[in-house]
Structure 1
Amino acid sequence: MELMKMGYNVSDELIGTFAPIILYWAYSGIYVMLGSLENYRLHTKKDEDEKNLVPKLDVVKGVLLQQAVQSIVATILFAVTGSDESAQAQQTSLVVLIRQFFVAMMVLDTWQYFMHRYMHHNKFLYKYIHSQHHRLIVPYAYGALYNHPVEGLLLDTIGGALSFLISGMSPRTSIFFFSFATLKTVDDHCGLWLPGNLFHLFFRNNSAYHDIHHQLYGNKYNFSQPFFVMWDRILGTYMPYSLEKRVGGGVEARPTKECKDN
């Protein structure tokens, strides 16, 4: 992609590698600033500071490590697949773009659901790998990619590579897809329920849905991420919830009575 006004030639591959990382921290930063809005928080700021089992500096370090690995894998993937100019020209077709986005979303959701669920049910993987992410009992935006490095590789990096390869998208298209997926993942962990949030309007898989999963009672439910809730519904791991006002301000996602009784 040529940035003519700046006089630079920046490749689609380079933008596709680093744009999601930049957006991750920029979008997370917005939610950090909005975190003082107690009336829209799913947990209090006090709970965020006291209930989580990992210092925020360690979370930042863990996320940066995962993003470094993702950058290396993306660079290798782009180098191996190469750049087909005629294929890129074809991507201007809206129908092709929609198809590739949908296929990539389905592949990523399917991979992450089954890997995520397996990491919860396999005691070894949960204890030594996935439990690291669940040190964030009260999720917040920039903790979205705080995982054990092995989980980051298996769940996110390989899942992203598969969605790229199977969908057949070009590096240019991948810029938009992975940027979108990154924003969605950050939003799911933001810990806020803001009115007018477009992600909440178009996706049932949202910050409240994923917050349920981070609580002890929802540990074996709501595995789906980052887009749809399809696999949870089909395979019986969907935990319905309601949003209720919390005493002292804010809202809380609570499982329905029927689910509690089961």
Structure 2
Amino acid sequence: MVFWEGYLSDEAMGTFAPIVVYWLYAGMYQLLPPLDRYRLHTRKEEEQKNLVPISLVIKGVLLQQLVQAVVAHILFLLTSKASSTGLTVQPSIPVQFVQIIIAMLVMDTWQYFVHRYMHQNKFLYRHVHSQHHRLVVPHAIGALYNHPLEGLLLDTLGGAISFLISGMTAQTAVLFFCFAVIKTVDDHCGLWLPGNIFHIIFQNNTAYHDIHHQLQGTKYNYSQPFFPIWDKLLGTHMPYSLVMRQEGGYEAQPMKD
């Protein structure tokens, strides 16, 4: 039994919960005090280098989430499987765990190759993917700030393929998509906070993705949002070292692999 049972269907939760979680989690980062001693970039760098105001970032994210919600609703309608009792058969927890791992690997694979191609194809980079890189200094609210076409191809379609291949139910999808959203926001938050569980468990983390947003790392660290497997296999992995800035905070510096 899940806490929303009797209030919302699994399909409705799978459609809208990731959106709510995005704004709650990103909003938490936005409302935190400056925390200059944990920032990967100074506030001055963020103001000077970023090429888009936060108002447009919010509009862009909301547009992408609207498309995601429509696609998710259609996907759940087409794939919902009910038993003779009218209830969805939910697999055991071990099976759900395996399904989530499969979905993570599928999403990583899809996003790596689409993301890399958008960098290699000059037309797609100039007219589509460069919108995301207007945020030279990433921040949590802008985690899903993309061109609408990129949002559809990279995130929405990638999520749909992960859902279909893993065979998870809509109820399991609620957990998976909310987790994927939290991880994506965290990768863009620009803060290296002590005790952050994502920095401990995942090599693909805030500093790892920050390297990709830097000029010298733009052709590296394409992997997102979970594991750096494809970067390591295909020679696009750029490790980093964290160096304390004199004025406070950290700096993620690229290293030779």
Instruction: Give the TM-score taking structure 1 as reference length.
Output: 0.93
1:27 aligned partner: 25
1:88 and 1:172 in contact (8 A); partners too = no
The match for 1:66 is 64
Task: Write out aligned runs for 1:129-208 (5 A).
Answer: 129-208=128-207
Aligned partner of residue 89 in structure 2, secondary structure: helix
- Deviation digits for residues 171-221 of structure 1 (CA, Å, limit 9, x no counterpart): 000000000000000000000000000011110000000000001100000
Query: Which deviates the most, 68-77 or 46-55?
Result: 46-55
Q: Measure, in 1, the Cα distance between the counterparts of 2:90 and 2:45.
A: 50
1:2: how far off?
7.6
Q: 1:35 touches 1:41 (CA, 8 Å); kept in 2?
A: no
The Cα offsets for residues 118-166 of structure 1, whole Å up to 9 and x where unpaired, read as 0000000000000000000000001000000000000000000000000
1:79 corresponds in structure 2 to: 77
Q: Which residue of 1 aligns with 2:46?
A: 48
CA distance in 1, matches of 2:90, 2:71: 25
Residues 2 and 9 in structure 1, CA contact (< 8 A), matched pair in contact too: no
CA contact (8 A) 2:90 2:169 kept: no
Alpha carbons 1:3, 1:10 under 8 Å: kept = no
Question: What is residue 7 of structure 2 aligned with on the other side?
Answer: 9
Aligned: 1:222 with 2:230:
no
Give the structure 2 partner of residue 18 of structure 1.
16
Q: Equivalent residue for 1:106? A: 105
* Separation in structure 2 between the aligned mates of residue 55 and residue 90 of structure 1, nearest angstrom: 44
Once the two structures are TM-superposed, the CA of residue 99 in structure 1 deviates from its matched residue by 1.0
State the match for 1:212 in structure 2.
211
Shift, 1:82, TM fit: 2.0
CA distance in 1, matches of 2:7, 2:191: 39
More deviation, 68-77/25-34: 25-34
Q: Per the alignment, in what secondary structure is the counterpart of residue 47 of structure 1? A: helix
Is residue 38–residue 193 contact of structure 2 (8 Å, CA) maintained in 1? yes
CA distance in 1, matches of 2:94, 2:130: 41
Q: Say which SS state the counterpart of residue 89 (structure 1) adopts.
A: coil
Which residue identity is paired with 1:218?
Answer: G
Aligned residues: percent identity? 63
Q: Which runs of 5+ in 1 are unaligned?
A: none
AA at the equivalent of 1:59: V
TM-score, length-scaled by structure 2: 0.95
Which amino acid in the other structure matches residue 48 of structure 2? Answer: E
Cα separation, 1, equivalents of 2:83 and 2:46? 48
CA distance in 1, matches of 2:151, 2:47: 24
Shift of 1:90: 4.0
Distance 1:28 1:130 in 2: 21
Between the aligned partners of 1:48 and 1:189, the Cα distance in structure 2 is 13
Distance 1:83 1:193, change over 3 A: same
3-state DSSP of counterpart to 1:9: coil
**One-letter code of the match for 1:55?**
P
